[in-house]
Amino acid sequence: MSDLHYLLAVILVMALMTFLTRVLPFVAFRNNKDHHLLDYLGRYMPPVIMTILVVYSLQGVDISIPPYGVREFIAVLLTALVHWLWSNALLSIFSGTALYVFLVQSGLLL
Amino acid sequence: MPVMFGYIPLGMAFGVLFQDLGYPWYFAPLMGVIVFAGAAQFMAVGLLSAQAGLTEVAISTFLLNSRHMFFGLSLLKRYTARGLKKFYLIFVLTDETYSLITSTDTPADVDSVSYYMAITAFNQIYWVIGCALGAGLGAWLVFDTSGMDFALTALFVVLVIEQWKKVGEPWPFVLALISAVLALVLFRQHMLVTSIALSMIVLAYQAYRAGLRHE
């Protein structure tokens, strides 16, 4: 398989699986919109999943060796604080990422 | 709607990382059109560079995006459109679109389906532009991208804060943290599916108890 065929196959598989996750609830619960359990999960699963995703995206960080995840911690804290104060996603993501890039590339806190 | 502009720089970050893989630049916006999932696209950069098998790609995409299912659940009642419109709304449902739709009210003079369509379409346009710009720039300029993948973590942090402001109860976040840390310790390889399953069991139990109280 050539490189471009591989890339295309990956893109198509991802598109299909992503669409599947989006369409499933609409197909599965067409006729059953008032289920108590579904309401409950629909309300509380999004905050749970977002929180898990933060940890998931940071799982490559080894907190047992220097700099002990301090850079990630500081950048997460800044992102959260900026978003808490101004609720502007662009500003929050940009400031957090810029700080992290700076910390990594400058070698500070190593 | 200033929130949407978050998509352009994030899309650019993806485009730049994608360009580092050495594929033609136009595949980045193509992914933006047909996959349109920020987190999964960032993950794809890792999978592509590891030349991961298609099965692995399928499973990890499904798990990472399984959160969409729960967005869908809570939008069942809102998405009353039919036919092609509904297909499009579902096809491109994302974290950002979801949080916008659930945290803002439809202006009084517009019908809700048109409002959702507008939000969704603008979100996707911004994202595709971002992907194209990033990949295009990455092809022209060579610069150090290390640390830029933090944009994904930052996006999730932003979404957590949004949820925190909306939900107003700390326990779902505590539950998620405990599940995530437990899953990391127990099954590092399958951290995502383990932690989501753990939380769901607890939530289902809670829902069951709340249901008993109602009766």
Interface contact flag, A15 B35, Cβ < 8 Å: yes
pLDDT in tens, A49-73: 889 888 988 887 877 777 888 899 9
Helix (H, G, I), strand (E, B) or coil at B135: helix
pLDDT in tens, B154-208: 888 988 998 898 888 999 999 999 999 999 888 877 787 788 889 989 998 888 8
Of B155, B180, B203, the CB nearest to A52: B180
pLDDT exceeds 50 at position B2: no
Co-location of B92 and B145 in the same domain: yes
What total number of domains does chain A contain? 1
Interface contact flag, A93 B158, Cβ < 8 Å: yes
Cα A82 to Cα B2, B154, B173, B202, distances in angstroms: 15, 11, 19, 32
Q: For residue B32, what are the domain limits?
A: 2-167
pLDDT in tens, B168-177: 899 999 999 9
N- to C-terminal Cα separation, chain B? 43
Co-location of B132 and B193 in the same domain: no
Co-location of B42 and B144 in the same domain: yes
CA distance B182 to B171: 16
Query: Residues of A23-39 as b/e, b for ≥16 C-beta within 10 angstroms?
Result: bbbbeeeeeeeeeeebb
pLDDT in tens, A71-82: 999 999 999 999
Q: What is the mean pLDDT of chain B?
A: 77
A28 lies in a domain?
A: yes
Return the residue of B nearest to A95 by Cα: B154
Regarding an ipTM greater than 0.90, the answer is no
This prediction's pTM: 0.74
- How many CB atoms within 10 Å of residue A92? 25
In chain A, residues 22-41 whose CB comes closer than 8 Å to chain B: 22-26, 29, 33, 36-41
B180 contact residues in A (CB cutoff 8 A):
51-52, 55-56
What total number of domains does chain B contain? 2
Distance from CA of B165 to the nearest CA of A (A): 9
Say whether residue A1 is in contact with chain B using an 8 A CB cutoff: no
N- to C-terminal Cα separation, chain A? 42
CA distance A44 to A38: 10
A15 lies in a domain?
A: yes
Say whether residue A21 is in contact with chain B using an 8 A CB cutoff: yes
Spell out the residues 6+ positions from residue B103 whose beta carbon is closer than 8 angstroms to its own: B162, B165, B166
Interface contact flag, B73 A11, Cβ < 8 Å: no
Interface contact flag, A46 B208, Cβ < 8 Å: no
Co-location of B140 and B206 in the same domain: no
